[in-house]
Amino acid sequence: METILEIKNLKTHFFTKAGLIKAVDDISFKIKKGEIVGLVGESGSGKSITGFSIIGLIDAPGRIVSGSINFKNEPLLNASSNRMQSLRGNRLAMIFQDPMMTLNPVLRIDTQMIETIKAHDKNISNQEAFRRCRDTLGLVGISSPEERMKAYPHQFSGGMRQRVCIAIAMLNKPDLIIADEPTTALDVTIQGQVIYEMQELCKKTGTALLWITHDLAVVAGIASKICVMYAGRIVEQGSVDDIINKPMHPYTIGLIKSVPSQNKKGEPLHQIEGMVPSMLELPIGCAFHDRCTETIEKCKIEKPIETNQSDSRVIRCFNFKDIRK
């Protein structure tokens, strides 16, 4: 199957007055046509910066210092600003955590949606563009879409604004959608509907989807592959079945145990001890060693390198053999 996105040894660093922040530090993964890949981890692990790096939205003091990002075999790191502009919103789309990063508060919804289509298809009529916008809003659960299109963003609730942003990302049936916590502001019913529609889009059009989230329960139901990220690095990746049912890395095991449904009634909720370290003051060795229950001396002095367990299973851990289920 065609590879839509291939990232190799990507490093995105921020050169601040306080010091160097290695927000993304040597990560690699692939997404194939029609595939849904979940990128999970706690807040501050570098998930969103990975998405911004792919779509070319890293601003000073940050920059991509090394690695490669290939989109359908086209290198993106050296692409011109005009080329990136022609890809964004057309072949590449991103759904941001904050819908107001996408929506212009002084323009009506129909103006913004139709502009998204006509920016990449000069020959389409206003009527056809309007119809496509109306139908897409209906798919994400907005009732009376024709009337709603005449409204301004401030007339929508936060959840409805997020649905509009999801619809905008789906408009041009892109080859890749990067979804950064897209359903956080939605109620459970609408969340299920949006997830279903995005799965259908991937099946019917071959759109690849990178689903960035901290919610393992959601990603387990939508993705076919999961990458677990911690302190700027992917510590484990594999199929959904492997990651959820046979996790190897202590951090992955901790995340899965922290899902409330894993606890029996009356038992205290499990939590990973400690806090995510400051990216300015990462510990020497493995960044997780001071929170890990399986730490050995080697973890405190050396950074673990990626180990391929199979074609699809990758892990960064010195002691994973002793903790495998």
Cα 213 to Cα 266: distance, rounded to the nearest angstrom: 28
What's the pLDDT at 274? 87
Tokens of 56: 């070319």
What's the pLDDT at 213? 93
Sequence spans of domains, the chain: 3-91+176-186+207-322, 98-171
pTM of the model: 0.92
User: For domain 3-91+176-186+207-322, is the CATH number 3.40.50.300?
Assistant: yes
Tokens of 150: 């005449």
What's the pLDDT at 52? 96
Of 114, 124, 14, which is closest to residue 58 (Cα–Cα)?
14
What's the pLDDT at 314? 93
Write out the DSSP string of 109-138: HHHHHHHHHHTT-TTS-HHHHHHHHHHHHH
Cα 11 to Cα 32: distance, rounded to the nearest angstrom: 22
What's the pLDDT at 97? 85
What's the pLDDT at 55? 95
What's the pLDDT at 263? 66
What's the pLDDT at 187? 83
Buried b (16+ CB within 10 A) or exposed e, 128-137: ebbebbbebb
SS3 26: strand
Low-confidence ranges of the chain (pLDDT < 70): 262-263, 321-325
Tokens of 124: 């389409």
Tell me the per-residue pLDDT of 232-245, one tens digit each, with 9 for 90 and over.
Answer: 999 999 999 999 99
Q: Is the dihedral of CA 177, 208, 224, 236 positive or negative?
A: negative
Buried b (16+ CB within 10 A) or exposed e, 145-180: beebbeeebeebeebbbbbbbbbbbbbbbbbbbbbb
Cα 175 to Cα 197: distance, rounded to the nearest angstrom: 16
What's the pLDDT at 262? 65
Tell me the per-residue pLDDT of 119-152, one tens digit each, with 9 for 90 and over.
Answer: 999 899 999 999 999 999 998 889 999 999 999 9
